Amino acid sequence: MLKESLRQFFKEVGHLHASFVLQNLKPYIPLMRRFPEITAQEIHRFRHYLVKAPAHNHEAALECLIIIAKEVPEVRPQIIEDLGDVLYEYYPIWKEVDPEGTRCEELLRILEIPLSERDKLLRELARSVITLHRPLILVIGAGFSYDTMPITDELQHIFQLGRLN
């Protein structure tokens, strides 16, 4: 009965306006956590909002996906498989519409999809340093960007941890 209730919720995804789906989403999150395999099977239905539905559905659909990605991490690989290409392709367009930082960017970060080639390079570098368990030397000077690396106050804690190891 619970599984059928969750399936019924997903049957409405793509047919109702995305804002209605968003309004009804929260009560289904516990069911999605309990049955992530159903959520993974049905997540493709959100593609309609991003590709075929009018643009005023995008924000609510992205918000739904953000909530699901945060609350049901097991579904993230399926979101990437079913929707990653659309999210990555349309990210620059959505960023122009909402230059403060779109909901799409938040979703891409949750899914750990690189936002740019530079972001991809930094992620690969960070993963290789962590995987190799090697000491890291940071050279910080003028122009140090807190958007990419932790700001100086946050670095003090990292440096203290490095001395302990």
Q: What is the pLDDT of residue 65?
A: 94
d(CA 156, CA 35): 42
Mean pLDDT for the chain overall: 79
Q: What is the pLDDT of residues 60-102, one digit of tens each?
A: 898 999 999 999 999 999 998 898 888 877 777 777 766 565 6
Q: Hey, which of 29-38, 97-106, 138-147, 151-160 has the most confident mean pLDDT?
A: 29-38
Q: How many CB atoms lie under 10 A from the CB of residue 9?
A: 19
**Pick from 5-19, 26-40, 94-108, 113-127: least confident:** 113-127
d(CA 63, CA 87): 13
Burial of residue 152 (number of CB atoms within 10 Å: 0-12, 13-18, 19+): exposed
Q: What is the pLDDT of residue 164?
A: 45
Q: Which of 36, 39, 30, 44 is closest to 80 using CA atoms?
A: 44
Angle value at C-alpha 71, between 34 and 46, nearest 5 degrees: 90
Q: What is the pLDDT of residues 41-56, one digit of tens each?
A: 999 999 999 888 888 8
Rounded to two decimals, the pTM is 0.66
d(CA 124, CA 23): 37
d(CA 163, CA 44): 47
